[in-house]
Chains A and B, each alone.
Chain A
């Protein structure tokens, strides 16, 4: 009888869990383990060679100048996106939380860029930066737009930031709005009656109470920006002169154009650890500032 029950449970387990576990193993678990193994070899598809090379792939990560340059570039990009996307989103959401006509329309509108994939988005901005803005620069003598931003390494960086922030803001707005909805109105009213002005209320009440949504938005921005690839490919394609290659772009090039799989995978692992470390640290730091209403 007991044996029967056990058999039945195994059958149940396989029926309900089997397909998921099979696919999960084949797409995530095995590739992940194989990927770790890969970083210790000099795997080459062409020669079928896979000699054990110890930690030399990891050593190469930290001596690969292009990787370090792309890593630093990515950090700057993440930081710029973090600051601007969250700044705009926070204040747009705050303004949208008060009594405004057409709230739904505004929210829908701000969110629209989020539906578009990175490839389409990047090409859309490529046309704007290379043709439309120089036209404005010409027509109205705006020095800043005179030449295409995509032809200048420093400005190409800002082109990437502008396009990314344009997409991210709408997403962050809806998360901040959901967060503000849980800030009790009477707390705010009490603050204004006590003679607190708007910015004091903001700094002492609204921001501390929205720490949970700030954590989520920071987390989303950091992970999304760190792993960005599509927009890098379509907007700048790493140019001009490879000055805007981000980490993902570099890894794809290294693995699939130079066929340097072991080193490429080691770089991917380093990228993963860096993102995880930064995302967890920011959560930890901000969590300590959390307060209850």
Chain B
């Protein structure tokens, strides 16, 4: 009797969960379906299946968003920033974890505290200061800032991990005549791989999707990242919904593909990131 009611509850739960999931995913479905129709057809019947697969919306969006350029810009900024963040923050975390000097403790505390600052507190001074130096509207400036905002998280994540690595491993390398720097790159860095994945995932989602900072630093159309070009596309197309939906889908696909490949790592990475 108990068993039967339990399995009934489980069945009921499953139904409710899948139904909820369906509701959550419907917005994606609507965009996919209607990106193949004309705007007219979309307005008349947004839930009908497309009669034919009109790819002209995609061609339209591809050109108006300057899609290849935008993808290229986003990719350069994301990859470049993250490579620098990983190297510099791992080195500094190593310094803080292995040398317990007073100055290191103070700096570590300062870097950790900075993570509490919201971006909104820094955006106005950043624009003024870098504007005065004539550094706005340049990709390297934006990359420099992404690195600055990413380093604290990196130092934090790596520090916790390096503390748990036995020092004997490094000592063995010293005895063989390895310098500190070489030891770091050859012995320590490879061991950081698991947390490195976490850091990279968190930073990809932050930098790839960033709109506000990029919009404040970059003005030239040819420097636009994907979110900036989506914004611009929507401002200029306003009510021509079909190509807009094709554009939305194109903007979502890169991250969704990455998610399908790395979903376990991504979910684990975000859980770890949040629990810290």
Give A contacts to B, CB under 8 Å.
9, 12-13, 15-17, 19-21, 23-24, 26-32, 34-35, 38, 43, 45, 92, 95-96, 98-102, 106-120, 123-125, 127-128, 131-132, 135, 166, 169-171, 174-175, 178, 216, 220, 223, 227, 229-230, 233-234, 248, 251-252, 255-256, 261, 264-265, 268-269, 271-272, 275-276
Which single member of B42, B151, B181, B231 contacts A119 (CB below 8 Å)?
B231
Compute how far the CA of A32 lies from the CA of B119 in the bound complex, rounded to whole angstroms. Answer: 10
Interface flag for B1 (CB, 8 Å): no
Compute how far the CA of A223 lies from the CA of B181 in the bound complex, rounded to whole angstroms. Answer: 39
Compute how far the CA of A99 lies from the CA of B184 in the bound complex, rounded to whole angstroms. Answer: 45
Whether the Cβ atoms of A268 and B124 lie closer than 8 Å is: yes
Whether the Cβ atoms of A272 and B117 lie closer than 8 Å is: yes
Interface flag for B30 (CB, 8 Å): yes
Q: A123: which B residues are within 8 A, CB to CB?
A: 230, 234, 244, 248
Q: A28: which B residues are within 8 A, CB to CB?
A: 114, 117, 122, 148-149, 152
Residue interface mask B193-212, A partner, CB < 8 A = 1: 00000000000010011111
Q: A106: which B residues are within 8 A, CB to CB?
A: 17-18, 21
Compute how far the CA of A119 lies from the CA of B228 in the bound complex, rounded to whole angstroms. Answer: 9
Q: B149: which A residues are within 8 A, CB to CB?
A: 27-28
Task: Tell me the number of A-to-B contacts counted with CB atoms below 8 Å.
Answer: 235
Q: A109: which B residues are within 8 A, CB to CB?
A: 21, 24-25
Given A120-B227, A127-B241: A96 touches B17 (CB 8 Å cut-off): yes
Pairs across A and B, CB under 8 Å, 14 listed:
A9-B99, A9-B101, A12-B95, A12-B99, A13-B99, A16-B95, A19-B88, A20-B91, A108-B263, A119-B227, A128-B27, A174-B270, A216-B275, A268-B121
Nearest 9 interchain pairs by C-beta: A27-B148, A117-B209, A16-B95, A31-B125, A35-B125, A20-B92, A16-B91, A119-B227, A34-B125
Whether the Cβ atoms of A112 and B28 lie closer than 8 Å is: yes
Compute how far the CA of A115 lies from the CA of B24 in the bound complex, rounded to whole angstroms. Answer: 14
Which single member of B24, B42, B91, B209 contacts A113 (CB below 8 Å)?
B24
Which single member of A100, A171, A261 contacts B128 (CB below 8 Å)?
A261
Interface flag for B57 (CB, 8 Å): no
Whether the Cβ atoms of B231 and A16 lie closer than 8 Å is: no
Whether the Cβ atoms of B17 and A95 lie closer than 8 Å is: yes
Chain B residue total in the interface (Cβ 8 A): 87
Interface flag for B111 (CB, 8 Å): yes
Whether the Cβ atoms of B89 and A111 lie closer than 8 Å is: no
Compute how far the CA of A107 lies from the CA of B270 in the bound complex, rounded to whole angstroms. Answer: 13
Q: Can you name the residue of chain A whose Cβ is closest to the Cβ of B114?
A: A28
Whether the Cβ atoms of B144 and A27 lie closer than 8 Å is: yes
Compute how far the CA of A124 lies from the CA of B25 in the bound complex, rounded to whole angstroms. Answer: 12
Q: Can you name the residue of chain B whose Cβ is closest to the Cβ of A14?
A: B95
Whether the Cβ atoms of A111 and B125 lie closer than 8 Å is: no
Compute how far the CA of A21 lies from the CA of B107 in the bound complex, rounded to whole angstroms. Answer: 9
